[in-house]
């Protein structure tokens, strides 16, 4: 009988990140994939990730609506609680042999707690990293709830070990997002017209010319600042006068502030050099980055995939603080002048040499092979 | 303005354990106590802890009903989720400056997640200990969500430090349960008639003669065994032919199995030497233990308070595995013969010398002084 | 393709009542039964109805845990809300073509609202009756949410019509509980030993001699009185000195009061002529009633099935006020003397002639035939 | 001691409608107003009603986040359930003597069920009307849960009586929305610049010239059509070439379709004669209508307030089917040609004479006087 592996996908970035692992699990002879789509992945206004999941040919085992509207701190807590209630039902129906939870969001810990109390062996992907903010707390808490740790880097593995996890339960698989980056690096043609394929709003931008990509998320514990921070980047983008492809942020406390600022700016200021996209298939997004001169914002893509790809990056603020990084990144504050200077510097650079800190590009297959063979254990004890 | 300190009390044992800290917070000139009573502490069939709380003179800021009936693994997860939804509302109404969460139950992690996402500084009491089962995972996960750690023992402090918490955020306060034990040790008279004061059902037991106390909880991840395990102890209690005062377990996945076995045994077997209590005020319970020859079961009281008091203990099974212990404890399996032999050995012993591993008896006051003065911070980052 | 008919069963009495309809739906060539088991039907301490459902050979499509513990007015409301959240998930998974909801409980209205908002045609069974208390409000509210009404009596049909429902949507099927009564009436042998088959606790009662059956539910809006009301009946049962078979009540606000009073009475008073059962298969229960001299309490069984069977009944209090009744019923207050007198009068009576006010005994089949053929409509408008 | 009257306000239109009653309750010497703000009234993207409530000087007793994101049929049901869970907590904290619920939305029935199970006397405002769709079911179900009915029209009173409610519990107060209309009618000056005060996006429109107002809500049970229906009205608005002030719809299953269509139209088509507002204070909105030539869409404002004001209205589709109406309304289908023709006809009309079908303009005061004096009863029984 095949092992049933349940993966809970909850947002655009986590889907992109895990996609090759999902494919490898689905096609593994000893495994059955149970894909649960939850939270913002189901919502049109956060990019309708579920559509991309279906387009990629995956069968969806359960849809879990769990976001309580409000986009403030109270509703973040409540969404986690509702998610836990709902995910428990999904697990009760699906009876998975193992659950995979990804990264450090509130859906991640809801998934982890449901699996823990339901005695289902739990694999955590992307533990052991360091960032800051609430994600930091959640990520390490999920490590302590998990039975297995598939980490992206050697440093992450060392950190998970220090957290008292058994060495035998920690595996450096690399990040599956790099699998996609590897494929893109091997054949880097853009191969699609972003405006035709993804629509979006705003100016038409000639992607045969130089352009930059912006992706900036609100930072949870600096809620009130979200709008001002978005404004700095928007002004920088305006003043740079280069072509800009801007991606809307995913759902979080504060995202409304960011989205609102973007809408307000478009109405009242000059965004005539910018085009705004809601979402993009992960591989297409990487191809677009390969074609760009620079990525700007606070997305981890700039640190992970772009270090592998060698794409120049301008990282704004503290969201990626302490994340391991390659030579492709320049760090700046939420300050339009700093942003402009750094972008100009990066635009003047030729592509960087990629490095392998986040993996070799075979993480998806390694994850599938691991979940097919590791023991189905739920007990554990701190190692010190 | 006084700092508002919100403490979420969810069960009989956690209330007993925190009571002196609650008193010290309530009477501290710079603090306002916001006491939230939740989960099984509100339920009659788990001992109506809320009544004892009111009798102790505390004002209750909010009642939180959060247990989804079913007493199985699915409802444990769902109760955690519902608790999170409800506790978030309580915090939103009370606007505490700091939250205290206790130990390692599902209400503990629900409280911790609500505080974390709502940017409220979080203090964890009783972190850093080692047990086994789901509690183990939850305890360390709560450590990773918390800003401050008030631990019971030096070993616990070392362990929390290894988990990557800053040394400056860890305080060895001792366990506040020992405060009560200190008072009892100083004046150990029983001072009440347990049958008159607490009723209960079953045989009348002369507490002036030798008697033993039994308190056995179901073990979550060994769900199916709960009933058989209770049966072994019941048979041992029957065959020992000594006087037995038995306390019902608190709510948990499996408690129904334990409770059912007790009821079944009372109907169909010989429980003529046993009396069954639902609940008892914490101090009365310690006085009763002082008057007893031995405590039997798997309660942490046998390890903590009884090591301070020097009361002989027979600890059954793995529930307290790896918990630091004094010389008063004999460990046995869920096996009636082993239980009988160990109880006989302990009943033949005179009282042990108490030790200080779980504190000096001043934890409550130290906790109140700390929460009055430590910075109200929410940010943290792993220390390695 | 078969029509998928989803029935939500939530308690012992509603299961007994609907059982023949479930069988008829299951065996109908054009129908597929989707049986959802929810609320107290899943709980051991309310008679473990789910076990009887499985023993009857039904496949269960979903288990829905929805009772928030507390057994007070707040948790009744919260249980309804949690039920609605959970039942919506079940419907989303099962995609029924039609939903059947039964009677007037909080699970009934949760089911009705979920179906209404999810645009699933809704059939209500047992509408149009009159009782009192919160059930009265809920029953008629469910009528207004439902598309079809399968009522038990002609008076109920008239009342549903007056409520503004189209005559064409109202069907007098009779109550399916009478189907079972019909089978029992045709072959009334007891055919089982109740103590051997159902255990229970308390005195052994010789069912070959005269005995009475007691089934008394707490009355929601008279919460504080539940315990005193139970006490009166217990005293009457004690003083009657006849053999008594007593059935525990089902879950509701106040049931804890009733259960507690029963437990307290057994410990402290004389229940030596009483045996207590938790639950019984519906057909066995009717056979037991046929063998009894009288049914006492406030159950609707005394009014419905017993009027068909001609079993003498003593109905206590207002719970069944205004329910249509046959000649078999004597009404009394919660007063031990009135109860004793009425029981003595009924025990001196020979069996009554049965009447057909609640149906002919073919309701199950009629219900199945109807749900196979009525249009799948969701729109409706008040008829005046 | 003052009677505590809890009013649950959940959306922009229900707030506008109830505002004068809230003021009258607040200033009544025997009453204490407990205002609970819930659902879309808390959300920025549905007009941030809570801001207007605060600006109007009201103190808010509790915020209730209850909308589960998804804007589909499943999440409508789930939002109702979550609302019920949360509103029960609010009532438990506030201990109101009486609850007022408004109209026919899912928050309305969540409020009604919470009050019913918690034994709080319940007043329903705006019962007895006829529309169609799910609102129709919910409105009459709420009538059956309510103890008192404050209806807008004589026909509504007759209908509530037919539904089996006691004549003595039904009061024709008129609709409090008419109170505002009365004030506006008495002094109809616009008195503010809508663009300056409310911002919004799109063309600047000279409100001293002829203009029309559009307000079109999605229709729940015609979900898939929402987008196409919005498109017809947008095309009509474009082709009419008159000045158009368009208001975004409030939250509901399908609103995303409507909002999306509006956004898409603005990007890809010609909306150069339209300005789009998110929300407007109720009184300002009525003044704007007074200044307009015609209101277009499916809002009940066109039927109620505008009949009193005599403002010409073009009502599209079935949303207001069967609602009592004055002579000011022309009904058309979701068809751009019909819409254009009707608007042209209305724009050529001088203002209609107002009528009194929805009240005299003193409903707020009458409601306050009633809730101060009617008995606090919870029991009721159908009158036939």
Closest residue in D to C138 (Cα) is: D145
User: Do the chains contact at B93 and D93, CB–CB below 8 Å?
Assistant: yes
User: Do the chains contact at D256 and A45, CB–CB below 8 Å?
Assistant: yes
Is the same domain home to A135 and A208?
A: no
| Domain presence at residue C276 | yes
* Set of chain B residues whose Cβ sits within 8 Å of the Cβ of D79: none
Confidence of residue C254 (pLDDT cuts 50, 70, 90): very low
In angstroms, the CA C237 to CA D171 distance is: 48
Average pLDDT over residues C6-19: 89
Average pLDDT over residues D200-224: 82
Q: Quick one: pLDDT at residue C255? A: 54
In angstroms, the CA D160 to CA D167 distance is: 9
Note whether D244 contacts A: Cβ–Cβ < 8 A: no
Is the same domain home to A153 and A40?
A: yes
Per-residue 3-state assignment (H helix, E strand, C coil) for chain A? CCEEEEEEECCHHHHHHHHHHHHHHHCCCCEEEEEEEEHHHHCHHHCCHHHHHHHCCCCEEEEECCCECCCCHHHHHHHHHHHHHHHHHHHHHHCCCEEEEECCCHHHHHHHHHHHHCCCCEEEECCCCCCCHHHHHHHHHHHHHCCEEEECCHHHHHHHHHCCCCHHHEEECCCCHHHHHHHHHHCCCCCCCHHHHHCCEECCCCCCCCEEEEECCCCHHHHHHHHHHHHHHHHHHHHHCCEEEEECCCCCCCHHHHHHHHHHHHHHCCCCCEEEECCCCHHHHHHHHHHCCEEEECCHHHCCHHHHHCCCEEEECCCCCCCCCCCCEEEECCCHHHHHHHHHHHHCCCCCCCCCCCCCCCHHHHHHHHHHHCCCCCCCCCCC
Average pLDDT over residues A268-273: 91
* Set of chain D residues whose Cβ sits within 8 Å of the Cβ of A45: 256
CA D185 to chain centre: 19
Average pLDDT over residues B14-24: 91
Closest CA to A217 of A255, A262, A260, A266: A255
In angstroms, the CA B346 to CA B330 distance is: 8
Q: Quick one: pLDDT at residue C215? A: 94
Closest CA to A349 of A308, A297, A313: A313
Note whether A93 contacts C: Cβ–Cβ < 8 A: yes
Is the same domain home to D40 and D132?
A: yes
In angstroms, the CA C274 to CA C286 distance is: 19
Is the same domain home to A192 and A336?
A: yes
Closest residue in C to A60 (Cα) is: C93
Note whether A360 contacts C: Cβ–Cβ < 8 A: no
What is the token pair recorded at C102? 């039964």
| Domain presence at residue C143 | yes
Confidence of residue B278 (pLDDT cuts 50, 70, 90): confident
Strand partners, C214: C246, C296
> pLDDT, tens digit, for every residue of D288-307?
999 999 999 999 899 999 99
Note whether D93 contacts B: Cβ–Cβ < 8 A: yes
Note whether C89 contacts A: Cβ–Cβ < 8 A: yes
The domain of A162 spans 3-175+359-373
Instruction: Give the B:D interface size as CB pairs under 8 Å.
Output: 13
For residues C22 and A16, the model is more confident at C22
- CATH no. for residue C163? 3.40.50.2000
Residue B288 in contact with residue B304, Cβ under 8 Å?
no
CB contact residues (below 8 A), chain B span 167-226, against chain C: 201
Q: How far apart are the first and last CA of chain D?
A: 37
Percent of chain A with pLDDT over 90: 73
> pLDDT, tens digit, for every residue of B299-316?
989 999 999 999 999 999
Is the same domain home to C91 and C218?
A: no
* Set of chain A residues whose Cβ sits within 8 Å of the Cβ of B162: 162, 164, 384
- The structural domain count of chain B equals 2
Residue A372 has pLDDT above 80, yes or no: yes
Q: CA geometry: angle at D347 spanning D346 and D352, to 5°?
A: 55
Q: Quick one: pLDDT at residue C205? A: 85
Please state the φ and ψ torsions of residue A123, each to the nearest 5 degrees.
Answer: -110, 130
**Chain B interface, best mutation among D78, D89, D94, by max B CB count within 10 A:** D89
Q: Quick one: pLDDT at residue D255? A: 54
| Domain presence at residue D383 | no
Q: Quick one: pLDDT at residue A199? A: 87
Q: Quick one: pLDDT at residue B250? A: 63
| Domain presence at residue C380 | no
Closest CA to D227 of D238, D216, D212: D216
Q: Quick one: pLDDT at residue C261? A: 86
Q: Quick one: pLDDT at residue B254? A: 46
In angstroms, the CA B98 to CA B25 distance is: 12
The answer for residues whose C-beta is within 8 angstroms of residue B261's C-beta and 6 or more apart is B226, B227, B228, B230, B231, B234
**Chain D interface, best mutation among A45, A69, A89, A264, by max D CB count within 10 A:** A69
Closest residue in C to B201 (Cα) is: C267
In angstroms, the CA D150 to CA D170 distance is: 6
Is the same domain home to C56 and C95?
A: yes
Residue B248 has pLDDT above 80, yes or no: yes
Q: At what angle do helices A363-373 and A177-186 cross, to 10 degrees?
A: 140
Is the same domain home to D191 and D160?
A: no
User: Do the chains contact at A74 and B134, CB–CB below 8 Å?
Assistant: no
In angstroms, the CA B249 to CA B258 distance is: 8
What is the token pair recorded at A198? 């993804």
* Set of chain B residues whose Cβ sits within 8 Å of the Cβ of A380: 136-137
* Range of weakest confidence among B241-245, B260-264, B365-369: B260-264
| Domain presence at residue C217 | yes
Residue A106 in contact with residue A130, Cβ under 8 Å?
no
What is the token pair recorded at C239? 């003083």
Alpha carbon distances (Å) from D110 to A80, A108, D74, D79: 22, 30, 16, 9
Q: Quick one: pLDDT at residue B242? A: 94
Note whether D373 contacts C: Cβ–Cβ < 8 A: no
User: Do the chains contact at D70 and A42, CB–CB below 8 Å?
Assistant: yes
Is the same domain home to B103 and B250?
A: no
In angstroms, the CA C316 to CA C333 distance is: 5
| Domain presence at residue B160 | yes
Residue D25 has pLDDT above 70, yes or no: yes
Touching A: which chains, 3+ CB pairs < 8 A? Answer: B, C, D
Residue A276 in contact with residue A262, Cβ under 8 Å?
yes
Residue A254 has pLDDT above 50, yes or no: no
Q: Which of A138-152, A268-282, C320-334, D324-338 has the highest mean pLDDT?
A: A138-152
Residue among B65, B74, B256 whose CB faces C70 most closely: B65
Residue B90 in contact with residue B7, Cβ under 8 Å?
no
Is the same domain home to A263 and A369?
A: no
Is the same domain home to C129 and C202?
A: no
Give the up-direction half-sphere exposure of residue D239: CA atoms within 13 A in the CB hemisphere.
15
Query: Considering chain B, what is the average pLDDT of its residues?
Result: 92
Q: Which of B181-190, C29-38, D43-52 has the highest mean pLDDT?
A: C29-38
> pLDDT, tens digit, for every residue of C151-183?
999 999 999 999 999 999 999 999 998 999 999
Average pLDDT over residues D242-257: 74
Closest residue in C to B86 (Cα) is: C78
Query: Considering chain D, what is the average pLDDT of its residues?
Result: 92
Closest residue in C to B266 (Cα) is: C201
Q: At what angle do helices A12-26 and A282-291 cross, to 10 degrees?
A: 120
| Domain presence at residue A383 | no
Is the same domain home to C279 and C365?
A: no
Is the same domain home to A139 and A223?
A: no
Touching B: which chains, 3+ CB pairs < 8 A? Answer: A, C, D
Residue among A65, A70, A201 whose CB faces D70 most closely: A65
Whole-model pTM: value is 0.86
| Domain presence at residue A204 | yes
> pLDDT, tens digit, for every residue of D157-199?
999 999 999 999 999 999 998 999 999 999 989 999 999 999 8
Residue D138 in contact with residue D220, Cβ under 8 Å?
no
The answer for residues whose C-beta is within 8 angstroms of residue C373's C-beta and 6 or more apart is none
């Amino acid at each position: 009988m095949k092992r049933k592996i349940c993966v809970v996908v909850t947002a655009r970035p986590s889907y992109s990140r895990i996609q090759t692992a999902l494919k490898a699990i689905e096609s593994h002879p000893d495994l059955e994939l149970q894909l649960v789509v939850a939270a913002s992945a189901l919502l049109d206004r956060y990019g309708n990730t579920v559509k991309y999941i279906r387009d990629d040919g995956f069968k969806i085992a359960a849809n879990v609506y769990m976001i309580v509207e409000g986009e403030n701190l109270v509703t973040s807590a409540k969404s986690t609680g509702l998610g836990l209630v709902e995910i428990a039902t999904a697990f009760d129906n699906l009876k998975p042999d193992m659950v995979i939870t990804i990264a450090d969001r509130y859906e991640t810990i809801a998934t982890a707690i449901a699996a823990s109390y339901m005695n289902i062996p739990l694999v955590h992907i992307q533990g052991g990293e360091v960032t800051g903010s609430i994600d930091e707390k959640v990520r390490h808490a999920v490590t302590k709830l998990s039975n297995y740790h598939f980490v992206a880097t050697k440093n992450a593995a060392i950190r998970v070990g220090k957290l008292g996890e058994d060495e035998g339960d920690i595996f450096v698989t690399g990040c599956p997002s790099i699998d996609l980056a590897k494929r893109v690096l091997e054949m880097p043609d853009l191969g699609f017209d972003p405006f035709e394929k993804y629509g979006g709003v705003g100016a038409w931008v000639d992607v045969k010319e130089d352009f930059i990509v912006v992706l900036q998320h609100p930072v949870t514990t600096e809620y009130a600042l979200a709008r001002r921070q978005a404004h700095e980047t928007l002004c920088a983008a305006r003043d740079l006068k280069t072509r800009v492809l801007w991606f809307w942020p995913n759902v979080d406390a504060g995202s409304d502030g960011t989205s609102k600022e973007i809408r307000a700016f478009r109405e009242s200021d000059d965004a005539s050099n910018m085009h705004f996209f809601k979402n993009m298939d992960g591989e297409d997004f990487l191809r677009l980055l390969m074609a760009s001169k620079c990525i700007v914002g606070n997305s981890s893509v700039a640190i992970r995939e772009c270090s592998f790809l060698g794409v120049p990056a301008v990282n704004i603020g503290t969201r990626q603080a302490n994340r391991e990084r390659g030579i492709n990144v320049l760090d700046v504050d939420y300050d339009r002048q700093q942003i402009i200077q750094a972008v100009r510097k990066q635009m003047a650079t030729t592509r960087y040499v990629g490095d392998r800190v986040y993996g070799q590009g075979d993480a998806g297959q390694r994850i599938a092979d691991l979940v097919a063979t590791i023991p189905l254990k739920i007990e554990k004890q701190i190692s010190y």
